[in-house]
Copies of this chain bind each other. A is one copy, B any other.
């Protein structure tokens, strides 16, 4: 209870200080929100239907309203570029809290912000406003970017055009399709859920990528409990309350533990007969959940889930999804079995969307299957004037472990004996997995084949690698599919970088700066792995100061406070910050709403 109270006060205090902090924008927004009279409106807002002036600014078209596009649009110099953002979604979604919205810990409206508001001068990030001051950009000479609520259907890169269509319910007549010309195109449309070709996933599983997915999941969860409550057959009731989450990454884990919180905090008192029968199966193909995190994080969260309704099933893959059951296969025993379930949440990774696939298929320089290959300045390989950032792209020349091979070798050779043994390699790889996700494949291979796997790369036939052999070893990792993980952090940095590059502020290629990883692991606890200090220092200094050389790993109650504070800080608009804080307060005091709609 003590800590609950502490956390509670902390939230309350944050709300108050946040409000105080907002005083100035508040006052100005109240003033600017004075109601217009009918006369004022017709004079102020007279629409201009004269033929568009030939702008001397280059036309930049941005596809998407996710992390990469928003950060791009908020950093681009609109005196130089005439920016048009196009997306079927007219808002930005703060994806890290998406799992929280499934059960109502945070409400959907609290983590969305209209894209039109974000395109205004006032919304530009603090650091950008400082840069703007130096380049002379201010509220007066700032040009507003345009937004069109439409989906890009085809990129006609030969004619520098994008074919768009209004795909919403109301399209207003037959001419829902139109073309937009560009001088420069920024593709930031994100990625689709990857089903790995597993039969039945598309038809029977649910996903969690958009706010609509979250609304649907919340509805289905409530529906399961209401239907189970009316079921008298014990076995059938149990089957109805068996939920499957496929994928042990952050989204899968956070969804599972949020559901567990919801079940125990809120549903337990309302559906007492159903709760004892409820089980959430978290199915992970690797040997650990959260396996891109520090080992301590995986162990901590696995231990925590032992005292919950989450049943962790590792080293197991899903081979088929049916409407009322899934078939899984153990990777150890090779055994297959069925789990009855009415709700499968699939969150195992991403792949290219149809728009991106079409480009990749028609451009011979594009050799990957999952994302658009770009160079270090985000320019799409094989195309002129087309850039790509975020989940839909992969920087192929960047972030190769090969580039850092020499440094990594020195870092790994802990006993300075001029060669790396099995343990030294594993320690290095585990420490690098957040920065170089491709090593995950190596770690899995090493776990499976043991020393044998490493020995294959050694000419001496002993399980030890010299510098040359080590380079070969990590090269095999670089050939794995993706360069950087499909995270908000990567996308945001790429968007900001590309804007700076196009503004002419930098000529240097993009370099990813891994600040750390965080995950909520349920029951009011989180895991935060903050590598910001490590990343800031050169490798040589890291060795001298081992304290800064490693990630700082926090688990438990304190980590949850860090998790909350850092994410609230990351929320783009003050409105979102205040709303999320209020949601947490509301959830703590009144519990979550179980109304189904």
Contact = CB atoms under 8 A, between A and B. Distances in A.
A113 interface: yes
Interface string A78-98: 000000000001110000000
A342 B172 contact: yes
A240 B172 contact: yes
A236 B172 CA distance: 8
Interface residues of A, number: 102
B173 A523 contact: no
A508 interface: no
A112 B597 contact: yes
Interface in A314-345: 342
B49 A232 contact: yes
A296 interface: no
Contacts of A222: 90
A108 B309 CA distance: 30
Interface in A31-74: 31-38, 41-42, 44-49
Nearest to A175: B231
A444 to B, nearest CB: 30
A197 to B, nearest CB: 27
Contact of A588 (B30, B272, B274): B30
A277 interface: yes
Given A26-B589, A41-B264, A47-B237, 17 more contacts: A30-B589, A35-B261, A35-B265, A41-B275, A41-B276, A109-B595, A114-B270, A117-B270, A149-B223, A149-B229, A149-B596, A166-B230, A170-B224, A172-B227, A172-B240, A211-B597, A212-B597
When A and B form their complex, which 8 residue pairs have the shortest distance between CB atoms, in order from nearest? A91-B595, A149-B226, A575-B590, A47-B273, A170-B223, A112-B595, A116-B270, A114-B594
29 contacts: A1-B34, A29-B590, A29-B591, A32-B269, A33-B265, A35-B261, A36-B268, A41-B264, A41-B268, A45-B268, A45-B275, A45-B276, A47-B274, A89-B596, A89-B597, A91-B594, A91-B597, A116-B594, A149-B223, A149-B226, A149-B227, A166-B226, A168-B227, A169-B220, A169-B223, A172-B227, A573-B590, A575-B590, A575-B593
